[in-house]
Chains A and B, each alone.
Chain A
Amino acid sequence: MRIKLAITIIGLTILFLLPLGIKNPYHLHVLIKIGIWIILVASLNLIVGYTGQISLCHTTFYGIGAYTSAILVTKYDWSFWVALPFSGFVAALTSTLIGYPSLRLRGHYLAIATLAFAVIMHAVFSNWEALTYSPTGLPGGPGFVEHVPRPEPEFFKSDFGYYYLTYIITLISLFIIYRLVNSPIGRTLTAIREDEELAEIMGLDVAKYKFLAFTVGCFFAGIAGSIYAHYIITVVPDTFTFLTSMDVLIGVVVGGIGTFFGSVFGAIFMVIVPEILAFPFAETYIAALQIIIYAIVLIIVVNITPKGFVSIIQDVSKLLASALKKR
């Protein structure tokens, strides 16, 4: 327990001081991306890892958050600080559309239903007039929202400042999820994951908890979407497909299903792989290799170390601990 606390404090300090030491703005970009991904992976982990439901439309809610925030701030002059939580709520509200009826669906039916939903919503993002905007009146394509501005206090307009904004929100989100997961609610969710029928027999209101987990997960996906929209400045529909949802799912699994720190590892892994590939390989190969690496790592993790990276680290640290004790 003390070690975990120490690591957390050290980690937070590094996090805080990191951008001061960074010379290359590209590194800052990668770090911000990681921050957003952490929220995505942690929120999906809540749905998949803790409650055991498969969702292949997580980035759809990421997109709903992104578009909501982008449109509200560009077209309707809302303040980012109001749009941010509002986007989360819109995402959560929309999630009830699929979350509520899907309660009765088991594993693979849910997977197919969420897949279909992701494809439908991608078509909506790409075609709905209301979701296309450009201040010049000539958007780059259907479903493009352009010139999404950075939020007000001048500090956050630079990438440097936005790093702090991202990580403040990421940390708050992680904190909320952490508290949720380590509460009786969290334990109920785990019970549902382990054996849903048994949980029902024992009197737990399974439907309510599944619904709760799904909605909260989608809320945070929406929040991540808002942060993303104001960072990336142009929102495009192809970011939010079932393929990208599968990416987040891979992040959850690789990091460690149902483990808290796993979300962080998973997010880092998913963001770092393409960055590392960028060094030796030409642009055209990166996308393909990235997908292949994701696939191979996913398969390895599922079949060999189902608990993901985190369990490897735990095993290694246990080995070290016992080796040290023997001295």
Chain B
Amino acid sequence: MNSEFLLTLFFNGLVVGSIYTLIALGLTLVFGLWEIPNFAHGNIYMIGAYLSLFSILMFNNFFAGSMLAILMTTVIGVTYYVVLIRPLRLRNSPEISLLLNIIGFFFLLFGIALLVWGPFARTIPPPLTGRLEILGTTISYGKIVVLIVTPLLIGMLILFIYKTKAGKSIRAASQNLERAITVGINIDKVYLLTFGIASALAAVAGVLIGCIPGQSVEPEMGFIPLLYAFVAVVLGGLGSIGGAIFGGYILGLTRSFGIGLTGGYLPFIGKGYAEVYALIIFMIVLLIKPTGFFGRRLR
């Protein structure tokens, strides 16, 4: 157990955590407005990754391709909101209809990806190759990109939410919907904006995963990150941005160190449970303190 190995685990944890955080931020923003467990979000990330793969290949230009992919994915996310979520909100439909619509879109995205691109994994040609030597270990440039871009984006998001009028209206709506309406905030625009931002963040995560050499895209790629993102959001507190960031990075590190150090061992039952550690912690937290560490009170 040398320091080089631990350092590698640490960096990998941060990288994975960055992806989870970006997805979790999207989830928590939507959760803040309306208590929607947007399962489909994980597949928005997946679609973002696939679209970036193909538009980069088509244009042979990383930047153009990824911008296009982010745009398309955001449009998909917003359309999803307008067609499936918004009508239910306006009609005040029961919770279960909403959940079913979400599950339906989740399946739809999955099925389409499966149909168009097939069930097998494809590797993405990363835009940057080469590794950097740092502190005794090496790390690929792609991962460095992720490690830099993510905090930048998070910073931009926080600036937006706290400093701009639109951002403040989102905060207002998530704190108290009725009062926000009374004050004259256009809730419809708030929702649209929030879904747009969430989808864009997930799309960026999809692009970023493509920067990492050796990563592959497959239709199921959204499932595990989605689950981890949910855990992050619940741990951090629904609607809490800080919580999502905290949760995302902590989970990334837990996963990296968990797999790296123990190979996924659970007492009595044996090996192979790496994915599951976080989930077990999650279930315990959920059942003991559903509001999470930084969350608001449950209604």
* Residues in A lying within 8 Å of B, measured CB to CB: 48, 52, 54, 101-102, 104-109, 111-113, 115-117, 119-120, 123-124, 126-129, 142, 246, 249-250, 253, 257, 284-285, 287-292, 294-296, 298-299, 302-303, 306
Contact = CB atoms under 8 A, between A and B. Distances in A.
Contact of B107 (A109, A294, A303): A294
B275 A107 contact: no
Given A107-B99, A124-B269, A249-B100, 17 more contacts: A109-B234, A109-B286, A112-B37, A113-B283, A115-B230, A120-B279, A120-B280, A123-B276, A127-B272, A128-B269, A289-B111, A290-B111, A291-B110, A295-B104, A295-B107, A299-B108, A303-B87
Which 4 pairs from chain A and chain B are nearest by CB? A291-B111, A127-B272, A292-B111, A288-B115
Interface of B: 35-37, 39, 84, 87, 95-97, 99-101, 103-108, 110-112, 114-115, 118-119, 227, 230-231, 234, 269-273, 275-276, 279-280, 282-283, 286-287, 290, 298
B227 A120 contact: no
A299 B99 contact: no
Contacts of A306: 97
Contacts of A298: 100, 103-104, 107
B230 A112 contact: yes
B103 A113 contact: no
Contacts of A106: 298
By secondary structure, the B interface counts as: helix
B286 A105 contact: yes
9 contacts: A120-B283, A127-B273, A287-B119, A292-B108, A295-B104, A296-B104, A299-B104, A302-B101, A306-B97
B255 to A, nearest CB: 13
A107 B234 contact: no
B95 A116 contact: no
A54 B99 contact: yes
Contacts of A290: 111
Contacts of B283: 113, 116-117, 120
A253 B94 CA distance: 14
A52 B96 contact: yes
B287 A113 contact: yes
Contacts of B118: 284
Contact of B287 (A54, A102, A289): A102
A116 B231 contact: yes
